[in-house]
Structure 1
Amino acid sequence: MSSPPVAPAPRRPLILLRASATALAALAVLQTVLAGSYLNGHYESLALHEAAARAVLVAACCQLVAGALVRRPGRDRRGPRGPLWLSVLLVATVTLQTAVGYNRAIGVHVVLGVLLVGGILAGLVGAWRLPLPARTGAAAADPEGAGRLPRPGGPVEVAQ
């Protein structure tokens, strides 16, 4: 039995996935800065690190919702699986990372944090590598493309 073909990701859920992956990556980089600041002796950074950890979990959950929307946009079309499975893995890992941090297992927390940031950045690259479908409706009906930049690889006309 073969699986149904993978359809291209729908436009709006893919934009949501890109936005959540970008926010998650920015928060992950912020976490590394705050952790480094704490390890350098700025102990007030620990409270900010804890608050940012909550924001990372919220952003990972948003990415999970976006990954589900990319995978299952409609009844007959299914998008790629990768964003959904990576998002599930990220939510589970962020939850584990938070638990390890609260238990003060610093050695495990630091190593898991490095791996987590790598996974988040891989998810960011993956989200931006999925092709964004062309717009449909009124925006696609305008053949002149008034006020819009040409699509990459498309014809470019220069007015003289």
Structure 2
Amino acid sequence: MNGVELFLLGRTLMKIGEEALPTEGLGEQPTGVRTVLIVVSDVRAHPGSAVGEIASRTGLPQSAVSAAVARLREADAVVTEPDPRDRRRLLVRPAPRISDRVEEVRATSIDAALARALDTADPERVAEVAALLEELACHLTPQALTRLRD
């Protein structure tokens, strides 16, 4: 596998992941799923960060991070508070309690989206590929991105 193939695989996996996420009842959202997931991943890795710090680490525009934080706050996935050292800045941290929406998203299986992507109705094949993805996820955690950026 070369870098282009790996990039295309990553893009395909992101699209399958987006397809697997439940969207019922959300309506149109100005902030893309991918952006929200990048922000929530960063907030989990760096609780208590300012929006500007999240933007710097993720490479996303500050306006996109602010919109994602607002969306996550509405879903009760994060909490914000003014920075005591600079009241103009908001500090973002994961919510102390997992919201019903976050529970729903985490509990949603990827099987249906994976079956569509694999063009198969064979549950054994879907389970086999899902197990391979779980193995890969054990090795390539979100911290791998931090190591790449350092």
Under TM normalisation by the shorter chain, which class is it?
0.3 to 0.5
Q: Which has the higher contact order (CA 8 A, sep 6+)?
A: 1
- What is the TM-score of this pair, normalised by structure 2? 0.34
- What is the TM-score of this pair, normalised by structure 1? 0.33
Higher strand proportion: 2
